Amino acid sequence: MTQTIAFYDRVDQALHDTSLQTALNRATTRFIGNRASAIGALCEADRLRDQARAIRAYALAHLDELLPQLAANVEARGGHVCWASDGEEARRYIIELARARGVRSIVKSKSMASEEIHLNEALEHAGFEVVETDLGEYIIQLAGETPSHIIAPAIHKTREQVSALFEQHLGMPPTTEVPPMIRTARRALRQRFLRADMGISGVNFGVADSGAIVIVENEGNARLSTTVPRIHVAIMGIERIVARLADLGVMLQVLARSATGQKMSVYTSLISGPARPGEADGPEEFHLVLLDNGRSRMLGGQYAEALLCIRCGACLNACPVYQAIGGHAYGGVYSGPIGAILTPLLQPDLPDAYLLPQASSLCGACQEVCPVRIAIPDMLLRHRADAVQAGKAHPLEKAAIRGYTLTMTHPAIYRASGKAARLFSRILARKGRFRRLPPPLHLWTKQRDFPAPPPKTFRELWAEHQKRRHQNEV
């Protein structure tokens, strides 16, 4: 019960945070417009999305073949592969590697997989200096917060809040102009790159037939994180794989257009192992961590389709609930519609994870914009059904459903309840609306009005219509 209250408290706090509302409105409106323009510019956008779904579906259906192929090709190019069944294995491998190589300083580019396994906390606890180098991730690291969006970690921050952080932590003179803030962050981060011993990155796609990993970004920090330090560790969820290099022609187009509204991201890096003799840049060692962490349990089950996700964030931007409450209210690493599906599966230890699928109007906007057409509303409904079957439904919800079922299956009770509702509305309603209702309906009228029932039911109107018709015929 404490966790249930905590979830609704987070939602309530988000709804009353004016700075958050301003930041969310600006960012999601911009993302939605950019995506619509980018997708609209494609004459065959639907065909491209169908191809992207087919590519991802094939990869998931053949993971047992593609993952060993990827691992073999990585090792053939001089890389190392760690098969991590869960977050603990992944963290232990990276920490032991860092200790064995005498690592002191670590730079990271944006990686939701590393957030999923709480890698930063583990590294810092082990005594390593860890610095996020994606600008959004760097901002929230300074703020001591977690990402609130898959592709825009600091989407919940206003320009004024970022300026205050930079003044406090980086000594920046007061300003809300973007160029000076970017220059300040660049100067601070450039020194971190130069002295880092290890770089840690995520992976957008692993390519089975070549052993390459693909990293997509707009800032160039991932390229620096993976080439300047002497050790590069890439963390990849086992589902983030494609069979062939040729598949990237489709996947990179739908990813960039759906995520940021660009035709292509500014930097697309294909990394195939450590630097070879004679190459001017690149790490001395390359380690690929293949992270399961609950994904194999999803395969073949009713939520397997969620593994098609390419982490573009389009469903978050389109979701009216996310637009209202942001990412932190969800309480997990992944937020928005796809997060409401993934969190109960990948972070089942969160006591209130089962409530997240309730944070949806089921309007279908998420599925409409998804580049691989994931049936998100269907899976949200399945999660709700699972919660009921597991006995997690609130007693009042159970009572309400029983009452509704009883009313709708017994005409006499239906008619009596209609009369009672109209009597109730004559007492409490004003101008056809309820402004305040008793518990538990007060949670609705706390935020919005509730329409009063009409003076007459359809049955009564129909009976009057039939009576008039009969009289006219006579």
Are 57 and 88 within 8 A, CB to CB? Answer: no
Asked if omega into 440 is within 30° of 0 (cis), the reply is yes
Token output for 441: 């309906």
pLDDT tens track for 420-437? 877 877 777 777 787 887
CA distance 159 to 181: 9
Instruction: For residue 121, count other CB atoms closer than 10 A to its CB.
Output: 11
Contacts of residue 275, Cβ cutoff 8 Å, sequence gap at least 6: 281, 282, 283, 284
CA distance 16 to 279: 54
Pairing relationship of beta strands 105-108 and 205-207 according to DSSP bridges: unpaired
Residue 3: per-residue pLDDT: 47
Token output for 43: 């004459």
Fold topology of 2-297: Rossmann fold (3.40.50)
Beta strands in 56-177 (DSSP E): 80-84, 105-108, 129-132
Q: Give me the residue spans of the domains in the chain.
A: 2-297, 395-473
H-only helix segments in 307-457: 314-318, 320-325, 336-346, 365-369, 376-389, 395-408, 411-428, 442-445
The H or E element spanning position 268 is strand 267-271
DSSP state of 390: T
Instruction: For residue 362, count other CB atoms closer than 10 A to its CB.
Output: 14
CA distance 87 to 333: 13
Token output for 145: 């917060």
pLDDT tens track for 146-168? 999 999 999 999 999 999 999 99
Contacts of residue 355, Cβ cutoff 8 Å, sequence gap at least 6: 4, 7, 387
What are the residue ranges in the chain where pLDDT is below 50?
1-3
